[in-house]
Structure 1
Amino acid sequence: MWSAQDVAQHQVRRQANGLDMAAVAEKVAEAAARERKTAEQLRRGGSFSEFQTDPERLAAIWAAKQVEWRRVRDLMSQAGWGVYEPERDTEGSTWAREREERCEGALAARVAFESRRREKADEVRAELWLSAAPSRLIREVADRAGLVPAQVLAQLAERVVVGEDGTVSVPPFTPSR
């Protein structure tokens, strides 16, 4: 669900909290080394069993981490911060909020999808062929009620009563919109 950039920004923001400039510089160097290593392994077709992940994605994440660590380093240098504090990083905070909103939106969409899927599983769709006489009656009732025949049949089905002996009946009713 998250892009390589999202993963990098989230992890760097979390890991950088409280680090001083020297520690951040080490992280920049580490990310550069890991980016080179994963790019080399990708070119050679080497194993990435360390994370059991897609090699191209891992290489993209390390490249994005290097960019993000450099951004944090430059921000600290320009702002004169002794240590990195995520809440003071307005750009990083904006990205974090946007990621959260996207995640919440995706989760809400998934919940709605699952709900629709469950409802659909409970639905019954039927194609009904009636002889001429019952068909004329249904059309006539539908016309008088301002409905289409399928709506009248749906209302009939909603009112079905099954007796103890298995008989099926529909109490009298007037179809309505």
Structure 2
Amino acid sequence: MWSTEDVARDAARRQGRGLSTAQVAEKVAEAARREQETRRQLDAPTETEIGPFATDPEHLAQLWAAKHTEWRRIAALLKTSGEQAYDPDRDAQGVTWAQERHARRQGALDRHAAWMRERQDARDELRTQIWLPADTSRRLRAIAARAGLQPEQVITQLADHVRMDEDGAVVVAPFTPHRVEGS
């Protein structure tokens, strides 16, 4: 859901709160060092076994490059603003990016919730195929034709009217099949 830049920006905002200009410079230097290390690892891969918990070296290199870029941006912000310490709330660009990340995350959560509701609705639906004897089928078609419906629509309405009495017997009160708006 988040790009490597999003992850780097979020981490820098969280870790950078209250850091002085000198401390931010240390973060820039550390990110530069880690970026170089991960790039070297990509250029000269080792014969290490990649297990289920091993990190993707390419993703790690991209992440450190993004962190390096973000820490340099914060250092430049401190220099131009004259602030002595980093305050993420006063970082207009950082706030904008954080709001965009939040909006994307919320959109993804909303889409997932809608998808889950659709799946639940689909689970609650019943789709069936029934085989009726010829005489029963002819009667159903005749009833449907008189009502201006398809046989499946009559069966759906029949199912809507089915009740179970106290003895467990299935009972259908008399009803007139009718057209339903939207069908």
TM-score, normalised with respect to structure 2: 0.83
Bigger Cα displacement from structure 2, 52-61 vs 104-113: 52-61
Equivalent residue, structure 1, for 2:162: 160
> In the alignment, what sits opposite 2:39?
39
Say what the alpha-carbon RMSD is for the aligned residues: 2.4
Which range is displaced more, 128-137 or 82-91? 128-137
- Matched to 2:107, the amino acid is G
Question: What is the SS of the residue equivalent to 2:61?
Answer: helix
Greater CA deviation, 38-47 or 22-31?
A: 38-47
What's 1:139 paired with? 141
* CA–CA distance in structure 2, aligned partners of residues 142 and 67 of structure 1: 70
Residue 8 (structure 1) shift = 0.3
Is 1:18 matched with 2:53?
no
What amino acid is aligned across from residue 16 of structure 2 in structure 1?
A
CA shift digits 1:36-70 (9 cap, x unpaired): 11222233145789x84322222211111011111
1:48/1:55 contact within 8 Å kept: no
- Structure 1 CA distance, aligned partners of 2:62 and 2:83? 29
1:80 paired with 2:69, answer no
Flag the 1:53–1:174 CA change in 2: closer, same or farther, 3 A: farther
Tell me which of 66, 69, 73 is aligned to 1:67: 69
Please, which runs of 5 or more residues in structure 1 have no aligned partner? none
2:55 to 53, 74, 85: 53
> What are structure 2's unaligned runs of at least 5 residues?
none
Partner of 1:161: helix, strand, or coil? strand
Q: 2-side partners of 1:89 and 1:146: how far apart?
A: 66
Shift, 1:33, TM fit:
0.8
- Tell me the secondary structure at the aligned position of residue 84 of structure 1: coil
Is 1:148 equivalent to 2:150 in the alignment? yes
CA–CA distance in 2 between the matches of 1:82 and 1:145? Answer: 81
Partners of 2:88 and 2:147 lie apart in 1 by 64
How do residues 103-122 of structure 1 correspond to structure 2 at under 5 angstroms? 103-122=105-124
- Number of residue pairs aligned between Structure 1 and Structure 2: 176
Q: Match of 2:6?
A: 6
Deviations along 1:91-133, one digit per CA (max 9) or x if unpaired, are 1101100111111111111122222212212221112333444
Q: Contact 1:38–1:55 (CA<8 Å) still a contact in 2?
A: yes
SS in 1 for 2:84: coil
Q: Which residue of 2 aligns with 1:126?
A: 128
